[in-house]
Structure 1
Amino acid sequence: MGAGGNGAGAARVAVVTSGPGAAQDADLPLIVAGLRDAGLAAEAVHWDAEHVRWDRFDLALIRSTWDYAGRLEEFLAWADATARVTRLCNPAPVVRWNSDKRYLLDLAARGVPVVPTRFVEPGGPWAEEDLGAGRPVVVKPSVSAGARDTARYEPGQLADAARHVRMLREQGRTAMVQPYLRLVAEGERALVFLGGTFSHAIRKGPLLTEAGVVDNARVAHPGAAPYRPSEAELAVARAAVAAVPGPEGPLFARVDLALDEGREPVVMELELIEPNLFLGMNPRGLDRLVAAVAGAGEAVAGGATA
């Protein structure tokens, strides 16, 4: 499998990106340089580039494939095909599971505290009254990245929220309806796990600052700054990572948390495909990622040459 089968030499790693990712991902050059400094033959490769021989790599590390949500079936087909010829991180079944936020139902079934969520399928039963009354809500598609096509609504805007749900359904998309957590004003927490172990965290400002507005050009991580999570936040994040299906844990993960009305942490999202890992804010995080990738890549290369 991969380049290791061609004889001795450094393990070859594709750091997988995209057009938007290559232009905007501040972590990408850090990762490529860090892997090369560790003795690996690393290069950035666009997931949709033509004529790429993915079998010449020992490992393909998905990073800033930030256009995948709009091309989901194509991206999932790429993940499946690539995983057949090299080691894909995270694995293709995990990528498929994590590509639709209905994974929140699986986390909840495993006892992980999550934001209460109702999924409204295209053509399925639904009525405006299902939004509830007297509470703010968030409406978004179950397949999205970067909070695209997402908005929050105050109780007096529930007719607008219902139109948002109808719009998504008419587009053939599954809509999500969640309560808007007021304490998100104190910041969202993003806890990063590398090689199965907690590495570092950041806290960022709320995204949905204006009610009733879909703003797909909003800044993705406003005011991001290093953060020391509480023991309760660590426990919830570890439970979420432990609930990821499959025989091996994810090589990288980011767990986004907020506080509910009782000030208890709940999972907003579990990011396993292309999350920003904020490596520029934590050099030890970069070292941990490089070590995890190096270990995985060299294990594959060593096995292929044995």
Structure 2
Amino acid sequence: MSQLRPILLATAPTHPRASVDTATLLAALEASGATGRAVQWDAQDVDFRDHVVLLHSPWDYQHKLETFLSWCDAVETTGQLVNPAATVRWNIHKRYLLELAAGGVPTLPTALLDRSTPLDDARQAAERAAGSWATTKLVWKPAVGAGADGLFVWDVSTPFPSPKVEDLLVRGDVLLQAYAGRIETEGELSVVCFEGIPAHVVHKFPAAGDYRVQLHFGGRYEVRAPRPEEAHLAERILAAAPHPNTYARVDLIPSPEGGWALGELEVIEPELFLRHAPESAARFAGVLARIAA
């Protein structure tokens, strides 16, 4: 039996939550017969050649985007990046939501504003979108970003939030979406998948009176097995993605029409909540061990 290639878990040690799943995954890798260790993704003294490199938690990448993308390309020339660099480049800009919607994937009503859009044009586009989508609230967020960084909700009955919008446009392209009010009571679902097959679901609920489900905003999580309709939708979404993925997190939002719609498809560095799902951790470790063979 050939020796397995080492598996490096690319992370960002300075991020306060970057290691939440690291110990769980390393233990699962060891149990699967593989060798793994966590490393800083942009460390100059780490040799990534001939390794399997997992984008585990490089959660500062959005602050040095071009460096990160160049690093992904470099890793792939001498080793194996999981997920591949082409997948990363496709997923890093949220225009992918428009591509998937055009292919029939259920998504929230979405529009993309180029960073060069004048502020008055952005206001007019938002007003048109609100009317077209029959919504009284719009979600604004960076087209390239992580978590809820830069995200805010605008009630169209209030003055246009020029400073916030201008700040987003200075940073880059902007995504505009209809607000899914049901998220306040029904939360959102994160369907964690390996090789296109759902493994577990994290049902996330916001704090009372909020819409953000992240823990640092007071959200709470429940981990459970996928229900058939959730698994089917996640598989359908992954089948529509144009690039391969070994792991994925399909974030589903309550749709205004009923049921669930795609909020985001995370195939770069999603938190997988493995510490709450040991069977999924073992399954993922087995997948990585096969890749390393």
Query: Where does residue 144 of structure 2 map in the other structure?
Result: 143
The Cα shift of 1:239 comes to 1.6
Query: Which of 100, 105, 110 in structure 1 is aligned with 2:98?
Result: 105
Q: Take 2:55 and 2:207, find their aligned partners in 1: how far apart are those partners?
A: 25
Query: Which of 44, 47, 50 in structure 1 is aligned with 2:38?
Result: 44
Q: CA RMSD in A?
A: 2.4
Query: Which of 102, 106, 116 in structure 2 is aligned with 1:123?
Result: 116
Query: Where does residue 201 of structure 2 map in the other structure?
Result: 201
User: What are the equivalent positions in structure 2 for 1:282-301 lying under 5 Å apart?
Assistant: 282-298=277-293
Per-residue CA distance 1:90-131 (angstroms, 9 max, x = gap): 000001111111110111122111111111102236241322
Aligned residues of 2:137 and 2:178 also touching (Cα < 8 A): yes
> Equivalent residue of 2:49, what SS?
helix
| Residue 273 of structure 2 corresponds to residue 278 of structure 1 | yes
User: What are the equivalent positions in structure 2 for 1:23-62 lying under 5 Å apart?
Assistant: 24-57=18-51, 59-62=52-55
Aligned residues of 2:13 and 2:19 also touching (Cα < 8 A): no
| Residue 264 of structure 2 corresponds to residue 269 of structure 1 | yes
| CA pair 209-71 structure 1, distance change in 2 beyond 3 A | farther
Aligned length, in residue pairs: 283
Q: Which runs of 5+ in 1 are unaligned?
A: 1-6, 299-306
Per-residue CA distance 1:187-230 (angstroms, 9 max, x = gap): 1100000122110001111389558xxx9x97168201114544
Q: Take 2:136 and 2:106, find their aligned partners in 1: how far apart are those partners?
A: 20
Q: Which amino acid aligns with 2:222?
A: A
Q: Take 2:282 and 2:14, find their aligned partners in 1: how far apart are those partners?
A: 25
The Cα shift of 1:257 comes to 0.5
Q: Take 1:184 and 1:210, find their aligned partners in 2: how far apart are those partners?
A: 9
* Percent identity of equivalent pairs: 31
Query: Where does residue 242 of structure 2 map in the other structure?
Result: 245
Aligned residues of 1:192 and 1:199 also touching (Cα < 8 A): yes
| CA pair 23-147 structure 1, distance change in 2 beyond 3 A | closer
Q: Take 1:122 and 1:233, find their aligned partners in 2: how far apart are those partners?
A: 35
Aligned residues of 1:94 and 1:244 also touching (Cα < 8 A): no
The Cα shift of 1:172 comes to 4.4
Q: Take 1:19 and 1:25, find their aligned partners in 2: how far apart are those partners?
A: 7
Q: Take 1:163 and 1:208, find their aligned partners in 2: how far apart are those partners?
A: 27
Question: Which stretch shows the higher mean deviation, 10-19 or 173-182?
Answer: 10-19
| CA pair 14-196 structure 1, distance change in 2 beyond 3 A | same
Stretches (4+) displaced over 6 A: none
Query: Which of 12, 26, 45 in structure 1 is aligned with 2:6?
Result: 12
Aligned residues of 1:151 and 1:208 also touching (Cα < 8 A): no
Query: Where does residue 184 of structure 1 map in the other structure?
Result: 183
Query: Where does residue 173 of structure 1 map in the other structure?
Result: 172
Q: Take 2:218 and 2:240, find their aligned partners in 1: how far apart are those partners?
A: 26
| Residue 152 of structure 2 corresponds to residue 157 of structure 1 | no
